[in-house]
Structure 1
Amino acid sequence: MGQLNTFPLSYKVRGQRIVIIGGGEEALNKARLVTKTTASVVIISRHVEIDFSSVEAVVLVRPFEAADLDGAALVFVADHGPDGDAAKLAARARNIPLNVVDIPDECDFYTPSIIDRAPLTIAISSEGDAPVLTRLIRARIEAMLSPHVGAIAGLAGRMRHRVEALIGDNAARRRYYEALVQSPAVETAASRSPVAGVFEAETLLEAHAINIKIGSVALIGAGPGAEDLLTLRAQRLLQEADVIVHDQLVPAAVVQMGRRDAEQIDVGKAKGHHSFSQAQINTLIVRLAREGKTVARLKSGDPMVFGRAGEEIAALRKAGIAYSVVPGVSAALAAAADTVTPVTLRKVSSGFVMATAHGADDADLVHWAALAQSGMTLALYMGKSIADAVAARLIGQGASANLPVGIVVNAGRAYRSMYRGTLSGLANGAVEFPAGPAIIFVGEAVAAGDWADAAELAAQSFKVA
């Protein structure tokens, strides 16, 4: 490992001036950066070539004067003419830290790529060697952080004296702060208002002061199973969880995105074998939270779309457990994206209906048939094994036999399978689909999708391996 040529630090500029010499794009870029601080910013150039109205700075259109550096904390030179040369000499004569844009050898300091979550800041620097790399690393770290982490950092600072008064042991204080910055309830409250954040922080503090553990549950949508379709919030909460309770349909690769030391519990709810009943799952997540654990309840798709989240939320509410819900990409939306199918299409489909085919009664089918005939797009879940019967019943209830049909199995994944045809083709064909969840689209909008690589649903018996 090489040695650093620079020492990273945070430099106080409150109540001081930052002077920028230059009137072009480079000067504006530095102004955008330094106007995030509480310092007063002055831009000096005899030739202003760009609009600086987007930044809070004083713009002086004139030559540089040595007196311009009175009270300056930092100097940026983005002018390589005589004014820039004069500013460099004046800054060095006064021992004011100097940054000369795009000339690393003349810089006393470098401007890092900054993640701003005031009062929290994270700076990434390559000592001027690889600014593109620092930008890419910054983007990755940004994705890991909650947009409200700055509010939580400020809240931790405001709570310092209360924490010291109520918790005497340093290790216990550390545990409180760890709980504070990872609490979904505190994050939600702090995002609403400082007062709400303090209330939740105080509630957590009182529990820690008497050594009561407080857990929480996040109901997280895992999406259709592709790791890169997981939301940023889902990834972050998986990394924070002590326990991951997941369904059988959630791929192992998604579960492994959690902390390596997190306990993993497969509740195994899949068609034909329910290793845990819904009541047992409810009891499990409540018990884990009462033990003070941070629980990630990982569900396939979106928790609120056929994910039975309502029953789990009711159990958590009854038990007084803090919870949050993280949306995921539902299988129907992933299937629409896979096949470029506009499920709502101007002058063709005015709406989109998601329903479960399993257990549908005649009243449901009458309603679906009418919706499909009116132009709506149907997205039927959990109907793979009864697809032909449902199609026949829809036709029997008045749906056109020629309505386009599209089916996607394992939507959103690399090994997805696609099939296309008509409602009558599906009704007359005994189709054996591959393993995995399927979405059945019915409606005129299906014809506008890209089904070029899909297998045909013929109007006779056949099997698809």
Structure 2
Amino acid sequence: MALRGFPVTLPLEGQPVLVVGGGELALRKARLVAKSACRLTIVARNPLPALVALASEIRERDFTPADLENHRLVFAATDDEAVDMSVAEAAHKAGVLVNVPDKPRLCSFIMPAIIDREPISIAITSGGASPVLVRRLRERLEAALEPGLGKFARFLDGFRSAVKATRDDETARRRFWEAVIDGPVAKSFLAGDEKAAHEKLMLALNDAQFGQQAGGRVALVGAGPGDPDLLTLRALRVLQDADVVVHDKLVDERIMDYVRRDARRHYVGKSKSHHTMSQEAINQLLVAEAKAGHRVVRLKGGDPFMFGRGGEELEVLRAEGIPVEIVPGITAALGCGASTTIPVTHRDHAPGVTFVTGHGKDGEPDLDWQALARLRHTLVIYMGLTAAGAIARRLVEAGMAGDTPAALVEKGTRPDQKLVVGTLEALPDLAAAHGLTGPAIIIVGSVVTLADPARITELVPAHLRQAV
């Protein structure tokens, strides 16, 4: 989803800013922008005394387009819609940034809600969609942030030159600062003990190994089934700590937005008959990046140990003596079950669940079809879309009833999710009828009858839905 507006910081110290209006609305905007140390001009008849006190210049008359000359931006805050519109139109023609409070259609910039911890500032905006919600968010963040953050930032700024002089490598500098901010230096400073913080930071500065690590490491991270809201907190922290991210095709692009912007990314996506990089090459890439001292995240859709070949990568990394962390993710079966209200187990339907792959090394998977047909388990088949016909035929031949309820879930948990239900023997027709291309999982068993009818994709042929 595209940003409704691109947030930037506009330096205004010493710059001319115009406020058109002399009442309370104009005063609110003037007080806010005056914090930037700009040169403020007020155009209004009978402005409030508080406005006069803030201004570098007062023009006690009506606005004219000539007032915009040489100004960086203008606020039209008269409470008179006709006047505000005329100011906005003149500003657009003159190429001057203009804000009209509560009228986003007239604005060339939107005023965010601002949290001020100078020199740290946090701006929150909804692009004009919900100012009240934005104010509520600001209140919550204000309460969560330490009052001394701005002072701490100024304290750290005094050491930037020294850190740069003692650490040539950008990664080493970043890790040093991360250790400072996350460790005892910050704890002492924010607790009010600036002397102790200074002493600890001096010790850290003179320790070449402070914040560094002896070597690289790899985290095998599950990104979940697609919805970014299902990413675990641990996965989010590891992602934001990574120097390098090696990611698959199944990882939603919205999840990649959580990756630190300066982290390097390697796309190694795979699809049927098309591998961007072989598994052996991926293994060697992970080894090389870790041996170079980097914090590497191998990011996979679902869970890394559920048909994600994470076990193979783990073996290779262990053999090379590289530390490995496993961060589990919500696997596709559980995510798709939740998003369609199909429980994978149920006392009245299935005492267990069996996960299998629908894709073998040489095409058709080597499975014990008779055992799968005998079990009263829910059967969840990963990567089985292209082999749906063969899978259905094998299960029916092994003794499973052809009218066993079955579902195909494509792009589960995502906004464009499709849920198609029918019967086991109709699986190939189900996929073809809706042009399903994947990624998708197949769920077979009477639990499919519990799917939420409102979430079933429309236009499923009636003869394919008799069982459900």
Which TM-score bucket, shorter chain as reference?
Answer: 0.5 to 0.7
Alignment of 1:12-161 (within 5 A): 133=137, 136-137=140-141
Q: Secondary structure at the match of 2:355?
A: strand
CA deviations 1:45-103 (Å, max 9, x no partner) are: xxxxxxxxxxxxxxxxxxxxxxxxxxxxxxxxxxxxxxxxxxxxxxxxxxxxxxxxxxx
- TM-score normalized by structure 2? 0.55
Measured in 2, the distance between the counterparts of 1:380 and 1:206 equals 54
Given that 1:357 and 1:382 are in contact with CA atoms closer than 8 Å, whether structure 2 keeps it comes out as yes
Select the residue among 433, 436, 440 that pairs with 1:434: 436
Deviation at 1:249, TM superposition (A): 2.1
Matching of residue 319 in structure 1 with residue 317 in structure 2:
no
Who is 1:81 aligned against?
none
CA deviations 1:103-131 (Å, max 9, x no partner) are: xxxxxxxxxxxxxxxxxxxxx9xxxxx99
Given that 1:243 and 1:294 are in contact with CA atoms closer than 8 Å, whether structure 2 keeps it comes out as yes
Matching of residue 367 in structure 1 with residue 371 in structure 2:
yes
Measured in 1, the distance between the counterparts of 2:273 and 2:287 equals 26
Specify whether residues 175 and 275 from structure 1 end up closer, same or farther in structure 2 by C-alpha distance, changes over 3 A only: closer
Specify whether residues 349 and 304 from structure 1 end up closer, same or farther in structure 2 by C-alpha distance, changes over 3 A only: same
Specify whether residues 135 and 343 from structure 1 end up closer, same or farther in structure 2 by C-alpha distance, changes over 3 A only: farther
Given that 2:225 and 2:336 are in contact with CA atoms closer than 8 Å, whether structure 1 keeps it comes out as no
Who is 2:77 aligned against?
none
Deviation at 1:417, TM superposition (A): 1.1
Matching of residue 290 in structure 1 with residue 254 in structure 2:
no
Specify whether residues 362 and 249 from structure 1 end up closer, same or farther in structure 2 by C-alpha distance, changes over 3 A only: closer
Measured in 1, the distance between the counterparts of 2:143 and 2:275 equals 41
Specify whether residues 286 and 457 from structure 1 end up closer, same or farther in structure 2 by C-alpha distance, changes over 3 A only: farther
Deviation at 1:333, TM superposition (A): 1.1
Measured in 2, the distance between the counterparts of 1:339 and 1:329 equals 15
Given that 1:422 and 1:457 are in contact with CA atoms closer than 8 Å, whether structure 2 keeps it comes out as no
Measured in 2, the distance between the counterparts of 1:421 and 1:255 equals 35
Deviation at 1:171, TM superposition (A): 4.3
Given that 1:406 and 1:441 are in contact with CA atoms closer than 8 Å, whether structure 2 keeps it comes out as yes
Deviation at 1:138, TM superposition (A): 7.8
Count of matched residue positions in the alignment of Structure 1 and Structure 2: 293
Alignment of 1:378-457 (within 5 A): 378-426=379-427, 431=432, 433-452=435-454, 453-454=456-457, 455-456=459-460
Specify whether residues 279 and 137 from structure 1 end up closer, same or farther in structure 2 by C-alpha distance, changes over 3 A only: same
The amino acid that maps onto 2:356 is A
Deviation at 1:435, TM superposition (A): 2.6
CA deviations 1:246-265 (Å, max 9, x no partner) are: 11222322222201111111
Measured in 1, the distance between the counterparts of 2:462 and 2:359 equals 23
Specify whether residues 441 and 140 from structure 1 end up closer, same or farther in structure 2 by C-alpha distance, changes over 3 A only: farther
Matching of residue 347 in structure 1 with residue 348 in structure 2:
yes
Measured in 2, the distance between the counterparts of 1:291 and 1:177 equals 18
Specify whether residues 420 and 430 from structure 1 end up closer, same or farther in structure 2 by C-alpha distance, changes over 3 A only: closer
Q: Secondary structure at the match of 1:218?
A: strand
Measured in 2, the distance between the counterparts of 1:215 and 1:181 equals 20
The amino acid that maps onto 2:405 is P
The amino acid that maps onto 2:285 is L
Measured in 2, the distance between the counterparts of 1:133 and 1:321 equals 42
Specify whether residues 176 and 334 from structure 1 end up closer, same or farther in structure 2 by C-alpha distance, changes over 3 A only: closer
Measured in 2, the distance between the counterparts of 1:243 and 1:2 equals 40
CA deviations 1:149-188 (Å, max 9, x no partner) are: xxxxxxxxxxxxxxxxxx9x964996664576899xxxxx
CA deviations 1:196-223 (Å, max 9, x no partner) are: xxxxxxxxx99938x9852111111111
- Unpaired segments ≥5 residues, structure 2: 1-31, 36-121, 123-133, 147-162, 183-205
The amino acid that maps onto 1:447 is T
Alignment of 1:94-243 (within 5 A): 133=137, 136-137=140-141, 171=167, 177-178=176-177, 208=209, 214-243=215-244
Measured in 2, the distance between the counterparts of 1:441 and 1:333 equals 11
Q: Secondary structure at the match of 1:208?
A: coil
Q: Secondary structure at the match of 1:305?
A: coil
Q: Secondary structure at the match of 1:220?
A: strand
Deviation at 1:425, TM superposition (A): 2.3
- TM-score normalized by structure 1? 0.55
Given that 1:382 and 1:437 are in contact with CA atoms closer than 8 Å, whether structure 2 keeps it comes out as yes
Given that 1:355 and 1:381 are in contact with CA atoms closer than 8 Å, whether structure 2 keeps it comes out as yes
The amino acid that maps onto 1:364 is D
Given that 1:369 and 1:398 are in contact with CA atoms closer than 8 Å, whether structure 2 keeps it comes out as yes
Deviation at 1:429, TM superposition (A): 6.3
Given that 1:225 and 1:250 are in contact with CA atoms closer than 8 Å, whether structure 2 keeps it comes out as yes
Given that 1:353 and 1:377 are in contact with CA atoms closer than 8 Å, whether structure 2 keeps it comes out as yes
Q: Secondary structure at the match of 1:238?
A: helix
The amino acid that maps onto 1:456 is V
Measured in 2, the distance between the counterparts of 1:141 and 1:406 equals 47
Matching of residue 338 in structure 1 with residue 339 in structure 2:
yes
Q: Which moved more, 1:323-332 or 1:429-438?
A: 429-438
Who is 1:25 aligned against?
none
Measured in 2, the distance between the counterparts of 1:250 and 1:280 equals 19
The amino acid that maps onto 1:251 is D
Given that 2:421 and 2:430 are in contact with CA atoms closer than 8 Å, whether structure 1 keeps it comes out as no
